[in-house]
Chains A and B, each alone.
Chain A
Amino acid sequence: MSAPSSSSLSIRDLHASIGDKPILKGLTLDIPKGEVHAIMGKNGAGKSTLAKIMAGHPDYTVTSGDVLLDGESILGIEPDVRARLGLFLAFQYPMEIPGVTIANFIRAALQARLPEGEELEATDYYAKLYSKMDALSVPRNFTSRSVNEGFSGGEKKRCEILQMAMLEPSYAVLDETDSGLDIDALKIVSAGVNALRGPNIGMLVITHYQRLLDYIVPDKVHVMSEGRIIHSGDKDLALKLEAEGYDWVEKEYSAGKSAV
């Protein structure tokens, strides 16, 4: 196994379970800064589990392997600390938080990144918030609405990307950010994601639809099945998966395994 780059989000032979049920079974993936990788795979393959384990969800137990952020292991580190280290997860199912406005929520997240005793400057904050909202076509009155409460599916996803734009992570995992979006919203959100692309961020985009990858063109596409990456390729792999489904990859993979 090659040594992980010190400028990457690196998952090394990760095994993880929920209760007694193993879900990740030796997953290895390296996302260098500056690149966008996509993961595709059937329902239940473990894609969201991978995302949540990276973010530090307490329900999952990592049994072996490691997750390295810029060369440092983040396993055993609290979720909020991971986030402040630069990791961002756009949730497949964002939570509703009654009574907490979007403006206060994002402000608390930014405030948590400042040194003790330093206060976030309110005018600058709102100026930045409004400009990002405008770019993502999120109506400005959303600032005073409770986080995700009563939002449509698409609004929730846009709000996730708004948070990402405000928090400027160095690594972002986007879990099915495209599902629930209409065509126009898909373009807007993709443009928002593309605007954040650059040498200082590595992204992992989880999706079921090749269509998203027309807008957010990935450097690499990986296929996940039963808790492992079973195939990797360039962006054209997504087209092939779209046309032919997953069976051939799985067959190739088991053939390869039995050949070993």
Chain B
Amino acid sequence: MSISTSFPAEIATSSTLNHWPEWFRKDQQEAWEIFQSLRQPKRTDEPWRFANLKAIDLSDFHAAVPVQDAASLITRSSAHTSLAAKLIFANEVLIHNDQAGLPAGVLLLPLEEAAKNHEELFRKSFMTSEVRLGSKKFAALHRAHLRSGAFVYVPQGVVIEKPIEIWHWVEGENTTIFPHTLIVLGEGASATVIDHFVSSREERSLAIAVNDLTLGTNAKLHYVGVQDWSDKATAFHINTTEVEKQAVSTALQMNLGGAYIRGESDSHLLGEESRSVMLSINPASGTREIDQRTFQDHFAPRATSDLLYHNALADSSRTIFAGLIKVEEAAHETDAYQKVRNLMLSDEAEANSMPGLEILADNVRCTHGATSGELNEDELFYMMARGIPPKQAAQLIVRGFFGTVLERLENEDLQAHLGEILDRKLNLNV
């Protein structure tokens, strides 16, 4: 049965929801009503231009039940070797919680606990901005059905050197999960958070994932989403980033798996001289579709936003990019960059790019552009002249193409770590 008829019953019956405070459960009821009142996106809706609307028909998906073998998923949740903390969720249940390496004062909690014990903090940053890049309906569904998630709060002045790793596993044919990561950095705080999105088996599933990144004055965040769902998965990854004065957010989304991925990334540059770096690495192969919509919204003077998305398209894969830079009236001396590069590895692949610009302030510097190109024959020849077989040469070039995005991370350890993940995963048909 369709998601709209099978889900509401569970709101009332699900025992896991009892962990949430009463006010939040009311909130969820409201969100459910919003979900029901909003219609499915149409092709004529601007945020869904070129989109594959069949892929977002959610009729066959159902709610998650606890996984069979949590222990094996804990074993499989191993990436970075030197961490400050690790949380593992499997079908929305927290199955592992290690935070021995966290400095004092940092809160790393399941969301429902944060809602109960840190209500003010939670309310101030949990899905507070409007979802305006198209997935309002799906964000409402997320809110209505959210069972858990990660809450990261780093108080003023606290610096966490090592990464916090959060794993979100999905298991079960047609299972739906709603991963959530909420990060709040106080003034001058600094952290690195890596979200891993993974399927325990090669199954069809649905994930509607949300992350809220809130950076106080002078805070510094590296956030990475390593999306590695099964090749049959449908997933929404909805991001909102709010950056206060002189804070720097660097967020990277790597889309390594999935059949259909819809990404929405909305950066609000709220404070003077704030900075948001928005990165994405998208190896697309088979029939994978990666549909990404972005917003760089400048509210304050002298802020910088810098977007760099690299798509490599093999087989009959498809990508869509639609990005808007908006410079609001007060945002003088804005620096905003937006660059999408499509590396076409197959004649059957299709890349759509729609960069956009709206400037209401004076004295701003904005550049945006999308390029599409094939593998450079001279580069290939150069590598072959060194004895590297053409297939490996092409792989190296693609790896290099993504490497130039990783170079934007101002953290060499993180660069190396993500480079290894790419090396393991990258097996494009070039």
Contact A95 B388 (CB under 8 A): no
Chain A positions within 8 Å of B386 at CB level: 80, 83, 105-106, 108-109, 163, 167
Listed from nearest, the 4 A-B pairs whose CB atoms lie closest are: A99-B400, A99-B403, A83-B387, A100-B400
Contact A112 B407 (CB under 8 A): no
Contact B384 A80 (CB under 8 A): yes
Write the A92-135 contact mask toward B (1 if CB under 8 angstroms, else 0).
00111111110011101100110000000000000000000000
Contact B379 A112 (CB under 8 A): no
B115 within 8 A of A: no
Chain A positions within 8 Å of B404 at CB level: 98-99, 146
Chain B positions within 8 Å of A97 at CB level: 379, 382-383, 396-397, 400
B385 within 8 A of A: yes
Chain B positions within 8 Å of A58 at CB level: 377, 381
Chain B positions within 8 Å of A22 at CB level: none
Which residue of chain B lies nearest to A83 when distances are taken between CB atoms in the complex?
B387
Contact A80 B400 (CB under 8 A): no
Contact B388 A78 (CB under 8 A): no
Per the 8 Å Cβ criterion, residues 377-416 of B in contact with A are 377-379, 381-390, 392-393, 396-397, 399-404, 406-407
Chain B positions within 8 Å of A83 at CB level: 384-387
Chain B positions within 8 Å of A80 at CB level: 383-390, 393
How many residues of A are counted as interface, with CB atoms below 8 angstroms from the partner's CB atoms? 31
Q: A109-B386, A163-B386 are in contact. List 19 more A-B contacts (CB 8 A).
A: A55-B385, A57-B381, A58-B377, A79-B384, A80-B389, A80-B390, A82-B385, A95-B378, A98-B401, A99-B402, A99-B407, A100-B396, A101-B403, A105-B383, A105-B386, A106-B386, A108-B392, A112-B389, A167-B386
Q: How many Å lie between the Cα of A101 and that of B384 in the bound state?
A: 16
Cross-chain pairs A/B with CB under 8 angstroms, 19 sampled:
A56-B385, A57-B381, A78-B384, A82-B385, A83-B384, A83-B385, A84-B387, A95-B379, A95-B381, A97-B383, A97-B396, A100-B403, A104-B396, A108-B383, A108-B396, A113-B387, A146-B400, A146-B404, A163-B386
Write the A138-156 contact mask toward B (1 if CB under 8 angstroms, else 0).
0000000010000000000
Contact B400 A109 (CB under 8 A): no
A91 within 8 A of B: yes
Chain A positions within 8 Å of B389 at CB level: 80, 112
A89 within 8 A of B: yes
Chain A positions within 8 Å of B385 at CB level: 55-56, 79-80, 82-83, 88-89, 91
CB distance from A59 to the nearest CB of B (A): 8
CB distance from B104 to the nearest CB of A (A): 36
Chain B positions within 8 Å of A167 at CB level: 386-387
Q: How many Å lie between the Cα of A106 and that of B386 in the bound state?
A: 8
Write the B172-187 contact mask toward A (1 if CB under 8 angstroms, else 0).
0000000000000000
CB distance from B381 to the nearest CB of A (A): 6
Q: How many Å lie between the Cα of A81 and that of B376 in the bound state?
A: 20
Which residue of chain B lies nearest to A55 when distances are taken between CB atoms in the complex?
B385
Contact A109 B399 (CB under 8 A): no
Q: How many Å lie between the Cα of A82 and that of B396 in the bound state?
A: 20
CB distance from B229 to the nearest CB of A (A): 25
Chain A positions within 8 Å of B388 at CB level: 80, 108-109, 112
CB distance from A111 to the nearest CB of B (A): 8
Write the A160-191 contact mask toward B (1 if CB under 8 angstroms, else 0).
00010001000000000000000000000000
How many residues of B are counted as interface, with CB atoms below 8 angstroms from the partner's CB atoms? 26
Contact A112 B377 (CB under 8 A): no
Contact B400 A98 (CB under 8 A): yes
Q: How many Å lie between the Cα of A83 and that of B390 in the bound state?
A: 12
- Report which A residues bind B (CB closer than 8 A): 55-58, 78-80, 82-84, 88-89, 91, 94-101, 104-106, 108-109, 112-113, 146, 163, 167
Which of A82, A99, A104 has the most chain B CB within a 10 Å cutoff?
A: A99
Chain A positions within 8 Å of B400 at CB level: 97-100, 146
Q: How many Å lie between the Cα of A163 and that of B386 in the bound state?
A: 8
CB distance from A176 to the nearest CB of B (A): 16
Contact B382 A91 (CB under 8 A): yes
Chain B positions within 8 Å of A109 at CB level: 383, 386-388
Q: How many Å lie between the Cα of A163 and that of B376 in the bound state?
A: 21
Which residue of chain A lies nearest to B310 when distances are taken between CB atoms in the complex?
A99
Chain B positions within 8 Å of A88 at CB level: 385
Which residue of chain A lies nearest to B400 when distances are taken between CB atoms in the complex?
A99
Chain A positions within 8 Å of B393 at CB level: 80
CB distance from A233 to the nearest CB of B (A): 30
Chain B positions within 8 Å of A95 at CB level: 376, 378-379, 381-382
Write the B19-57 contact mask toward A (1 if CB under 8 angstroms, else 0).
000000000000000000000000000000000000000
Q: How many Å lie between the Cα of A106 and that of B383 in the bound state?
A: 10
Which of A55, A88, A100, A101 has the most chain B CB within a 10 Å cutoff?
A: A100
Chain A positions within 8 Å of B376 at CB level: 95
Q: How many Å lie between the Cα of A96 and that of B404 in the bound state?
A: 13
Which residue of chain A lies nearest to B398 when distances are taken between CB atoms in the complex?
A99
Residue of A57, A91, A99, A112 touching B387 (CB-CB under 8 A): A112
Residue of A79, A100, A108, A163 touching B381 (CB-CB under 8 A): A79
Chain A positions within 8 Å of B383 at CB level: 80, 97, 105, 108-109
> A80-B389, A112-B392 are known contacts. Are A100 and B384 too (CB-CB below 8 A)?
no
Q: How many Å lie between the Cα of A24 and that of B404 in the bound state?
A: 39
Chain A positions within 8 Å of B401 at CB level: 98-99
Q: How many Å lie between the Cα of A99 and that of B396 in the bound state?
A: 9
Q: How many Å lie between the Cα of A167 and that of B400 in the bound state?
A: 22
CB distance from B392 to the nearest CB of A (A): 6
Q: How many Å lie between the Cα of A112 and that of B386 in the bound state?
A: 9
Contact B399 A100 (CB under 8 A): yes
Q: How many Å lie between the Cα of A99 and that of B378 in the bound state?
A: 16
Q: How many Å lie between the Cα of A97 and that of B390 in the bound state?
A: 15
Q: How many Å lie between the Cα of A172 and that of B407 in the bound state?
A: 34
